[in-house]
Structure 1
């Protein structure tokens, strides 16, 4: 696949109604993002927020970027482990290259998982194998959320008094429901497959390989703990650069909840909702809107920098040959 050109064939063409619907959804997401940001800006001094950002420690910004890059490298390792049971045998370095290129395209492709389209095709090498490759990415993200929620549980146990009872109970319920639902997913698969059309053609015995042979999934879950430890550390570094003075336990909850807010498919790539989540959650910890928004902007700038590095990999790293080097 060459993302600069046409990635598909005639089978990928959209009907007129589907095209209108997709553009309407995109327009709605832009409206939500702009509205959320406008709402925040009416309740804070943007000049003060930008001043705090400009005066923050640049060494801590670089450290946070380093933590993010390490987390992405470990995420690549995690995905590589999940690819093997489905017969996608690729060198780890190639998977890392594909992953970083996907990060670059996710900067401007609509949707928080827009870059996954690029990663899926580069791994699969053909649209026929794409559903299975897509499933490995869904599994990777799901296992990542499982690890993230564990940190959220630890953070919530130390900070629950800062939140309204309904919110603390809601987060606790989400954590309590997620793990059992993940474990018993094969029994809940009918509604799942009804929602994800591209997975319907995968034979059931292949779809649930991770449950029949759970060692790769358990390894991936263990790596998720390292991934999110790095991301929490990145937030601690950013907080220190802004002089927030928060305990580490606050960041254990801050990062998971803001990430979940960004995953809500109502805004453009999470923009607006993510920043609102930072301002609200940090506000519960006693942080004013201006430094909270500064931290959100700092994290966004780090995500952009990391994505630009993916662009450098795409431009300078040579053409990526789609598909696995060997299929079992």
Structure 2
């Protein structure tokens, strides 16, 4: 909303740019999670294969949208022309805006390849917090848990993903961590509570740094005004 309201040009393209940014972020997280699943596939094969299939499906879907040959083969433009007038116009505008990114595939590809390294910093911070809180998971489990939790909490249901992220972390850590407490009564509930606690601590950590960044931005803006 912030970007669209302040966009001096085509607001529709501004909306599409946000959508494309989210899709690229989703692909990045799925790629990072796919790599992480290599470490847990022997213990949780269903989870790993689900992630790999989802990642492949999203990737193939993006190729179908951007590949001229496949679009021609599927007669994509003809399908759009058969849609109801309003819906067809909207889809055509959306399609035209998305195609603008076809000329930047190299940059998008480089970003996707670099994304696991970038997200490793975030995952590393969660690993350190998990060890500090005594969650009890091996570090390799976080490589799969954190990206999936991030994708889940990005679902626009609650402000900032509050509640959704806690549910994701609690569920995943309970599933992964129950085997670390053999013979302990209510082991799953214990691990779920630890997962929720980890999510809350991580959110507070991110909010604190974000607040600091916001204060620095306001300070810099005030300095620029004083210099005018």
- TM-score, with normalisation over the residues of structure 1? 0.51
- Aligned match of 1:304: 207
Structure 1 residues 179 and 289 mapped into 2: Cα distance closer, same or farther (>3 Å)? same
Whether 2:22 is the aligned partner of 1:141: answer yes
Counterpart CA distance in 2 for 1:230 and 1:160 is 23
State the partner residue of 1:279: 170
User: Residue in 2 aligned with 1:233?
Assistant: 124
Q: Secondary structure at the match of 2:137?
A: coil
Partner Cα distance (2:89, 2:48) in 1 = 31
Give the deviation of 1:297 after TM superposition. 0.9
Q: 1:149 to 1:202 in 2, by over 3 A?
A: closer
Q: List runs of 5+ in structure 2 lacking aligned partners.
A: 179-190, 223-228
Shift >6 Å, 4+ stretches: none
> In 2, distance between residues paired with 1:315 and 1:195?
44
CA distance in 1, matches of 2:113, 2:89: 27
| Pairwise CA distance, 1:313 | 4.1
1:221 is displaced (CA, Å) by: 1.9
1:314–1:130 Cα change, 3 Å: farther
How far 1:301 moved relative to its partner? 0.5
Greater helix share, structure number: 2
Alignment of 1:27-106 (within 5 A): none
TM-score (norm 2): 0.71
Query: Cα distance, 1:281 vs. partner?
Result: 0.7
Partner of 2:144: 253
Aligned to 1:292: 195
- 274-283 or 288-297, larger mean C-alpha shift: 288-297
Are residue 155 (structure 1) and residue 39 (structure 2) matched? no
Q: Distance in 1 between matches of 2:95 and 2:38?
A: 41
Could you report, residue by residue, the CA deviation over 1:264-310 in whole angstroms, capped at 9, with x for unpaired residues?
A: 23333321121011111111222622322221111110222133134
Deviation at 1:170, TM superposition (A): 3.1
The structure with the largest alpha-carbon Rg is 2
Distance in 1, matches of 2:87 and 2:37, equals: 34
Higher RCO (C-alpha under 8 Å, 6+ residues apart): 1
Alpha-carbon separation, structure 1, partners of 2:22 and 2:172: 23
Residues 297, 169 of structure 1: alpha-carbon distance in 2 compared, 3 angstrom cutoff: same
Inter-partner Cα distance in structure 2 for 1:164 and 1:203:
37
CA RMSD of aligned residues (A): 3.3
The answer to whether the aligner puts 1:174 opposite 2:54 as a matched pair is yes
Q: Which runs of 5+ in 1 are unaligned?
A: 1-116, 320-328
1:7-66 CA-to-partner distances (Å, cap 9, x unmatched) read: xxxxxxxxxxxxxxxxxxxxxxxxxxxxxxxxxxxxxxxxxxxxxxxxxxxxxxxxxxxx
Cα deviation code 1:216-262 (max 9, x no counterpart): 21233234233212211121121122233433321111111111211
Q: Distance in 1 between matches of 2:116 and 2:166?
A: 24
